[in-house]
Amino acid sequence: MVTTQRPTQAFAMLPLTLSSCPGAAPRSADPVACSNCALRDVCMPDDLTPADFERLDALVCASRKVSRGETLYRQGDAFRNLYAIKAGAFKTVVTLRDGREQITGFHIAGEPLGLDGIHASEHTADAVALEDGMLCIIPYGRLERLCGEMRAMQRHLHRLMSGEIVRASQLMALLGSMRAEERVSAFLLNLSQRLRAVRHADMEFKLRMSREEIGSYLGMKLETVSRMLSRFQDEKLIEVRGKLIRILDADRLQRV
């Protein structure tokens, strides 16, 4: 069984300025500066100076509230901004040539969103909110210029982009070579690890996505996902209460 990836840190949660965002319609203001943000230790490089914080505080153009089911951007939209998820969760969805939809990722608070648009200057998937949430909007052109002046942010951006490559390769491994039980086990452990990285409870958590959405991501039917979760519960690996998951034996779950 392949190991789950080490989660990368997300972008700094950047505060509101009065400037407008390219291609975005801000819906709310967030007065919290980077230096005062609760996620500061999670999402920023650890070697920033006070002067660096001041420059980051001037970078963001807005924050935005999103509602469950709302589409932030669509496949084929021009790429202008990156997003830092401050609260809530998102899924990314690709529409295949035959009209079927394939979920390509889930993104939680403390993680970045929109990196897929850097390569071809357009987004390769829809980003849809799984629940009500809040995110900060980061104009990529400004961030790119800032990275040229701040080596710490440049290294941070490179780590994030590398993390996306690792995530994509691991999805290919999940879909191509793993048995059903291995896919579900890897999914739960990876989600637990990512929650730990952003300072959330990692051994007991709520699934923000449906079992059908998990199946789409893992290339499995809904019934198979439900059967695997029931099997893991019968084997005392996890406890399932609706969407609440409690990992009882992570070591054995890893060895599935």
- Whether 164 and 206 share a structural domain: no
Q: Could you report the per-residue pLDDT of 52-76, keeping only the tens digit for each? A: 877 877 776 678 999 999 999 999 9
**The total number of structural domains that make up the chain:** 2
* Residue at 141 is within a domain: yes
> Residue 239: which pLDDT band, with cuts at 50, 70 and 90?
very high
The H-assigned helical ranges of 60-179 are 140-149, 151-177
Read off φ and ψ for residue 71, nearest 5 degrees.
Answer: -95, 120
State the Cα–Cα distance between residues 25 and 93, nearest whole angstrom.
22
Alpha-carbon dihedral sign for residues 9, 79, 32, 28: negative
Its pTM stands at 0.83
Looking at 120, 135, 170, which one is the last position of a domain?
A: 170
Q: With left for phi above 0 and alpha for psi between -120 and 50, is residue 45 left, alpha or beta?
A: beta
Rounded to whole angstroms, the Cα distance separating 215 from 218 reads 5
- Segment 100-143, tens digit of pLDDT: 999 999 999 988 999 999 989 999 999 999 999 999 888 999 88
159 & 209 share domain: no
The answer on 208 and 123 residing in a single domain is no
Contact, 124 vs 117, CB < 8 A? yes
Residue 89, classed as helix, strand or coil, is: strand
- Asked which of 170, 188, 211 is the last residue of a domain, the reply is 170
The dihedral through the CA atoms of 34, 39, 45, 48 has a sign that is positive
When pLDDT is averaged across residues 66-90 and rounded to a whole number, the result is 96
- Whether 44 and 126 share a structural domain: yes
CATH number of the domain at 147, please. Answer: 2.60.120.10
